[in-house]
């Protein structure tokens, strides 16, 4: 390389340390040394982003440009929905597909019970059970027709997952309890359904209860824009008792009736497109993704990409856990063959070959917005220097992607200008030796949710004094992180001033204590409090009021204009005419 003319190089959005060295034609030891100088720990096979690589290359005398990557290759949920609309409008190769249904409603109005009842009564024995822990997707058969149900968690922690479930649905079942009526969460759901114009069937639940008032429910629904068919509107309704299995057949009939009117169709001749509902890392099977196929037919052996992951379809299982060779539109399936667990909401699509799949996954890594895991990839660990903000380094491992998403959502609501969380690494897997090693290097705490640490990892953690904390309840994990952040906050010290005393006499001067007498100028002197010694306008020392006497009798306090004797504990030497300020300080814990 010339001393005067920098060599020009083009770097991709992400590059391994090994490949980076090859591009620069420099030894790996030189590259790793330069990375360490910039506060970055990375091994030969780990990846660094363009920004990092560019800084290192420029420091070494190169002129850097970025390889152009077309963002148009990245499929998003918005692009998928737009494509499906165009597909239906085109009308080519279209055939009917099962409706996709989600069930919504206020907490305790019976959503979960209804889903369980539908599953038990409409799915043949031995066929029940969702295919993931957090978003269950399954199919039922009614009058020879299939209905796909996508269930989402009801807890507020999973709001992002719940909204995703609604956005994927063709039909929404709005559950309203007959004894409780339209509640705040019901109103939010109604607003969303009306805004998105999602076909809706109302299930008035708990009709078996003595306090049930169906007419009130219908009136409240009408007041909020849901006018039922019997009131002259367009919305079908069913009166049910999920607990006692009353009206379930009528509800399924209404769902099929709406599906017939809407005429849901898809192109069975095209390459498949699907949405990742959930993913996890299975110890035997490896990365497992729960996919809802939206259009096309997914087949074994196809090269695929989903967000930042890629691979080949090695095995497809239907919601019953049975192996199938292909899956058509509206099918919920488990897929094995991706190189890692994809993110929820990633779009699964087919690539022409394995290399193309890998390249498209790479594009996705840098073009998908909001991909927290990609932003915090463990391969780039930058040293963050910010004196104003104290940072808690954590490594976060979870059982499934949905749990990780929920934890990040809750932690993301913590707002502070003084403390922050640095996610050194996060992922869907058990806690391994590499996690412990990374935690030791970065002084991080390893948090696990519904996962285990390997035996070797536990032993390494003990030797390296790395803290591993496992939780089964999300809010317990979040509370633990919050408590550590709170402990990092400087405490609030509240001071209460009581009064001032002018020193008139010195009775005793000892080592570390004095006895003085004086007159209260303002307020009062209180025994057991703190004292400031003022000489003129300046504070010259501090101490403690050990004992307080009035007329040589021990008292708790002495008020204005009275004289008293004070035992002062402190190193300051008090003189006549000094002023003693009496005050108390209370240290209050901070909150987030």
Residue 331 pLDDT greater than 50, yes or no: yes
From first CA to last CA, the distance across the chain in angstroms is: 54
pLDDT-based confidence at residue 505 (cuts at 50, 70, 90): very high
- Mean predicted confidence (pLDDT) in 6-33: 84
pLDDT single digits (tens) 446-464: 999 999 998 888 999 999 9
Asked which of 356, 373, 390 is the last residue of a domain, the reply is 373
pLDDT single digits (tens) 335-365: 999 988 888 888 999 886 555 555 555 555 5
386 and 361 in a single domain? The answer is no
> Does 43 or 495 have the greater pLDDT score?
495
Helix axes 17-24, 28-37, angle to 10 degrees: 110
> Does 474 or 162 have the greater pLDDT score?
474
235 and 182 in a single domain? The answer is yes
**Rounded to whole angstroms, how far apart are CA atoms 566 and 573?**
14
> Does 529 or 366 have the greater pLDDT score?
529
- Mean predicted confidence (pLDDT) in 57-75: 72
What's the per-residue H, E or C state across 180-233? Answer: CCCCHHHHHHHHHHHHHCCCEEEEEECCCCCCCCHHHHHHHHHHCCCCEHHHCC
Q: Is residue 152 part of a domain?
A: yes
Q: Is residue 90 part of a domain?
A: no
Asked which of 351, 373, 395 is the last residue of a domain, the reply is 373
Residue 199 has a pLDDT of 95
Residue 158 pLDDT greater than 70, yes or no: no
pLDDT-based confidence at residue 366 (cuts at 50, 70, 90): very low
- Mean predicted confidence (pLDDT) in 560-571: 95
Burial class (CB in 10 A: 0-12, 13-18, 19+), 106: buried
**Rounded to whole angstroms, how far apart are CA atoms 440 and 566?**
54
Q: Is residue 272 part of a domain?
A: yes
SS3 253: helix
279 and 404 in a single domain? The answer is no
CATH, residue 500: 2.40.30.10
Residue 175 pLDDT greater than 60, yes or no: yes
- How many domains would you assign to the chain? 5
Structural contact between residues 517 and 563, judged by C-beta atoms closer than 8 angstroms: yes
Residue 184 has a pLDDT of 84
CA angle at 315 for the pair 448 and 147, rounded to the nearest 5°: 90
Both tokens assigned to 91: 């009308």
Residue 498 has a pLDDT of 97
Both tokens assigned to 355: 């290399």
SS3 556: coil
Q: Is residue 87 part of a domain?
A: no
Helix axes 248-262, 111-122, angle to 10 degrees: 90
Most confident of 2-11, 58-67, 470-479: 470-479
102 and 17 in a single domain? The answer is no
526 and 557 in a single domain? The answer is yes
337 and 432 in a single domain? The answer is no
Which residues lie closer than 8 Å to 251 by C-beta, 6 or more apart?
173, 201, 203, 238, 240
102 and 178 in a single domain? The answer is yes
Q: Is residue 84 part of a domain?
A: no
Nearest CA to 578 among 498, 499, 503, 507?
503
Residue 381 has a pLDDT of 37
Q: Is residue 85 part of a domain?
A: no
Q: Is residue 505 part of a domain?
A: yes
pLDDT-based confidence at residue 372 (cuts at 50, 70, 90): very low
131 and 243 in a single domain? The answer is yes
CATH, residue 197: 3.40.50.300
pLDDT single digits (tens) 239-297: 999 999 999 999 999 999 999 999 999 999 899 999 998 888 877 788 899 999 999 99
Q: Is residue 281 part of a domain?
A: yes
pLDDT single digits (tens) 67-84: 654 444 567 777 888 888
pLDDT-based confidence at residue 201 (cuts at 50, 70, 90): very high
pLDDT single digits (tens) 384-393: 344 568 889 9
Residue 367 pLDDT greater than 50, yes or no: no
539 and 557 in a single domain? The answer is yes
407 and 505 in a single domain? The answer is no
Nearest CA to 417 among 441, 389, 443?
389
Asked which of 433, 455, 488 is the last residue of a domain, the reply is 488
Residue 236 has a pLDDT of 96
Residue 105 has a pLDDT of 81
DSSP tag of 300? T
**Rounded to whole angstroms, how far apart are CA atoms 354 and 302?**
9
Residue 179 has a pLDDT of 92
59 and 185 in a single domain? The answer is no
111 and 249 in a single domain? The answer is yes
pLDDT single digits (tens) 111-157: 778 888 888 765 433 333 333 334 468 899 998 999 999 876 544 44
Nearest CA to 275 among 409, 405, 165?
165
CATH, residue 400: 3.40.50.10050
Work out the mean pLDDT of the chain and round it to a whole number. Answer: 84
Residue 379 pLDDT greater than 50, yes or no: no
Nearest CA to 170 among 146, 186, 153?
146
> Does 128 or 307 have the greater pLDDT score?
307
**Rounded to whole angstroms, how far apart are CA atoms 176 and 184?**
11
Residue 382 has a pLDDT of 38
Both tokens assigned to 107: 């907490």
Structural contact between residues 224 and 182, judged by C-beta atoms closer than 8 angstroms: yes
Token pair 């001033």: residue: 497
Residue 152 has a pLDDT of 63
- In this structure, of 184-198, 209-223, 345-359, 501-515, the range with the lowest mean pLDDT score is 345-359
Token pair 């035992």: residue: 567
Determine the structural domain holding residue 506 and report its residue range: 492-588
Q: Which contiguous run of DSSP H or E holds residue 32?
A: helix 28-37
Residue 98 has a pLDDT of 96
Residue 581 pLDDT greater than 60, yes or no: yes
């Amino acid at each position: 390389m010339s001393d005067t003319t920098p060599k020009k190089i083009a770097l991709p959005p992400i590059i391994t340390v090994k490949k980076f060295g090859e591009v620069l034609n420099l030894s790996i030891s030189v590259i790793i040394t330069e990375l360490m100088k910039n506060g970055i720990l990375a091994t030969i096979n780990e990846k660094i982003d363009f920004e990092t690589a560019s800084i290192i290359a420029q420091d070494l005398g190169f002129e850097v440009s970025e390889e152009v990557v077309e963002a148009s290759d990245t499929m998003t949920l918005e692009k998928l929905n737009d494509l499906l609309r165009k597909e239906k409008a085109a009308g080519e190769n279209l055939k009917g597909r099962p409706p996709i249904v989600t069930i919504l409603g206020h907490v305790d109005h019976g959503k979960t019970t209804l889903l369980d009842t539908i599953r038990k009564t409409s799915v043949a024995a031995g066929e029940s059970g969702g295919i993931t822990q957090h978003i269950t997707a399954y199919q039922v058969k009614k009058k020879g027709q299939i209905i796909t149900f996508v269930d989402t968690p009801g807890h507020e922690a999973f709001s992002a997952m719940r909204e995703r479930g609604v956005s994927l649905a063709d039909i929404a079942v709005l559950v309203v309890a007959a004894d409780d009526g339209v509640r705040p969460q019901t109103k939010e759901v109604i607003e969303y359904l009306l805004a998105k114009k999602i076909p809706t069937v109302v299930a008035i639940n708990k009709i078996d209860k003595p306090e049930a008032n169906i007419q009130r429910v219908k009136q409240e629904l009408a007041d909020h824009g849901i006018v039922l068919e019997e009131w002259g509107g367009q919305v079908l309704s069913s009166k049910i008792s999920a607990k006692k299995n009353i009206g379930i057949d009528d509800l399924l009939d209404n769902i099929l009736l709406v599906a017939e009117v809407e005429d849901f169709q898809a192109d069975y001749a095209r390459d498949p497109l699907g949405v990742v509902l959930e993913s996890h890392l299975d110890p035997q099977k490896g990365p497992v993704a729960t996919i809802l196929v939206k259009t096309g037919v997914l087949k074994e052996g196809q090269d695929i990409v989903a967000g930042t992951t890629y691979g080949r379809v090695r095995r497809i299982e239907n919601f019953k856990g049975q192996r199938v060779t292909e899956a058509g539109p509206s099918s919920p399936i488990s897929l094995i063959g991706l190189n890692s667990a994809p993110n929820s909401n990633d779009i699964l699509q087919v690539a022409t070959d394995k290399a193309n799949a890998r390249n498209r996954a790479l594009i996705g890594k840098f073009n998908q917005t909001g991909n927290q895991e990609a932003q915090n990839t463990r391969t780039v660990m930058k040293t963050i220097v910010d004196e104003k903000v104290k940072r808690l380094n954590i490594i976060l491992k979870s059982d499934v992607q949905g749990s990780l998403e929920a934890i990040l959502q809750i932690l993301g609501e913590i707002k502070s200008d003084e403390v922050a969380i640095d996610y050194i690494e996060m992922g869907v897997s058990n806690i391994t030796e590499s996690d412990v090693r990374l935690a030791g290097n970065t002084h991080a705490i390893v948090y696990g949710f519904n996962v285990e640490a390997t035996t070797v990892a536990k032993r390494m953690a003990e030797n390296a004094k790395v803290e591993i904390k496992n939780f089964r309840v999300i809010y317990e994990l979040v509370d633990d992180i919050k408590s550590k952040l709170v402990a990092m906050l400087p405490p609030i010290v509240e001071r209460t001033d009581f009064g001032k005393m002018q020193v008139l006499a010195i009775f005793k001067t000892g080592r570390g204590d004095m006895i003085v007498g004086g007159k209260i100028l303002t307020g009062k002197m209180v025994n057991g409090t703190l004292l400031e010694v003022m000489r003129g306008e300046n504070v010259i020392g501090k101490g403690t009021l050990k004992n307080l006497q009035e007329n040589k009798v021990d008292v708790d306090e002495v008020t204005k204009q009275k004289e008293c004797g004070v035992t002062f504990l402190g190193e300051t030497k008090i003189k006549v005419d000094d002023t003693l300020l009496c005050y108390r300080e209370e240290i209050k814990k901070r909150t987030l």
